[in-house]
Amino acid sequence: MSDALLSILVSAVVLGSLYSLMASGLSLIWSTLGVFNYAHGALLLLGAYLIWTFSEKVGLPVLLAFAAAIPLLALLGMLLDLVAVRPFISRPNGTLLVMVSTLAIANAVEGAAQLIWGPQNKQIKSVSNSTFALGDVKIASSTLIALALALVLVIGLITLLRKTKWGMAVRAVEQNRDMAMLVGIRPARIYAGVFAVASILACAAAFVYGTTTTITPTKGFEPLLTAFVVLVFGGSATLWGTLVGAFTIGLLEAGTTYWLGLQWSPVAVFIVLVLIMLVRPQGLVKGRS
């Protein structure tokens, strides 16, 4: 295998991990509440900055900083649900209003991040600098950590939804809110929990993102939009579909960046998206089964 191809594969793995973490959180919110969370990129941004602060300013080891950021981000996620989703969800046109409100929040977070952390580039330290050789090419261990994180968390989420009582409650609310309430499930609690879980996934995405690239206050939207493309690409997404979609889009992006140049890769990804939408408009995220 040529070096070029292998380096494309390596960056595809990193991108795929990032997108699967982002997209599975988005997908969870989307299928349970029926809304699109534009502030998901803002959650990623906050997660990355929190991890950075804990490791650089507080001096914790990176993994510990990541662990410390998780509960904080879960709380922020629930707060987001409380202020930007709860007031609108039962209004007519609620989905549109939630989109506008989360967009507004995302903008506000961008401003806040600029205020707190400044516009300079920040990067989270890698967990370890060790590499290992695969043939002639060296692969950083951070790539493997990203991959492991994505696989463990997404498969963990699938298991959580399939096997646990909480997962059943989520699926019950998703399928029939009123019946779920009749058997004693409180949708409001489920929604808060869904946001907490999605935020934890966003925090993991932030960890992958922050260790592989520099973060600035404006960088939350890019992975959000690609994660949306992943959702579409994953088709009638079971979360497995999301995983496949994430790594396919990662490969597409890495490949187009290599062959066409950095500026063309988002164009290529979005054109693929539009084409898919034309062929399969009905099958975006059809709920989990």
Partner 1 sequence: MNILGSLKRFATWPLLLLAAALLPYVVISGSARLLAATALIYALLAASWNLTLGIGGIFNFAHVGFFGVGGYAMAVATVTWDMNPWLGLILATVAGGLAGALAYVPVIRMRGIYIALITFVFVQLCYYLVLAIPGITGGSSGLTGVPALSVGDFSFAKYSGLGYLWLLGGAVVLLLVLLRTTLRSPFGKSLIALRDNENLAVSRGMNRIRQHLLAFILSGAVAGVTGALYVAYFRVADVTLFSFGFVTLGLSMIFLGGTGHIWGPVLGALIVTVIDRQLTDLGPVRAIIIGVGTLLVLIFLPRGISGLFEDVWTRARRLLPGNPNKSAHRALQKPASRTMEVEETTHVH
* Residue from 58, 96, 179, 181 binding partner 1 (CB under 8 A): 96
Q: Where are the alpha helices (DSSP H) in 81-140?
A: 94-117
| Residue in 221, 223, 201 with CA at minimum distance from that of residue 212 | 223
Which positions from 12 through 71 interact with partner 1, judged by CB under 8 A?
A: 34-36
Q: Pick the binder of partner 1 from 14, 29, 43, 105 (CB under 8 A).
A: 105
- Binding-site string for partner 1 from residue 112 to residue 131, where x marks contact by CB under 8 A and - marks none: x-xx----------------
Q: Write out the DSSP string of 254-286.
A: HHHHHHH-TTHHHHHHHHHHHHHHHH-TT-S--
- Residue 289 per-residue DSSP state: -
Window 148-207: residues binding partner 1 (CB under 8 A): none
In this structure, is the dihedral angle defined by the CA atoms of residues 144, 150, 156 and 158, taken in order, positive or negative?
negative
Contacts of 25 (CB under 8 A, 6+ apart): 40, 197, 198, 199, 201, 202, 205
What would you report as the CA-atom Rg of the chain, rounded to the nearest whole angstrom? 19
- Could you count the other beta carbons within 10 Å of the beta carbon of residue 106? 22
259 is a contact residue toward partner 1 (CB under 8 A): no
Residue 210-229 contact track with partner 1, rule CB under 8 A, x = bound: -------x---x---x--xx
Given 67, 79, 95, 185, the residue binding partner 1 (CB under 8 A) = 95
Helix (H) or strand (E) holding 155: helix 141-163
The one-character DSSP state at 107 is H
The residue count for binding partner 1 (CB under 8 A) is 46
Region of 105-113, 153-161, 175-183, 208-216 interacting with partner 1 (CB under 8 A): 105-113
* Residue selected from 1, 58, 104, 151 as contacting partner 1 according to rule CB under 8 A: 104
Binding mask 73-92 for partner 1 (x = CB under 8 A): ----------xx--xx--xx
Contacting residue, 6, 72, 89, 99, with partner 1 by CB under 8 A: 99
- The nearest distance, CB 9 to partner 1, in angstroms, is 24
- Asked whether the beta carbons of 150 and 206 are under 8 A apart, the reply is no
In the bound complex, what is the minimum distance in angstroms from residue 149's beta carbon to partner 1? 27
Residues near partner 1, by CB under 8 A: 34-36, 83-84, 87-88, 91-93, 95-97, 99-101, 103-112, 114-115, 217, 221, 225, 228-229, 263-264, 266-267, 270-271, 273-274, 277-278, 281-282, 284
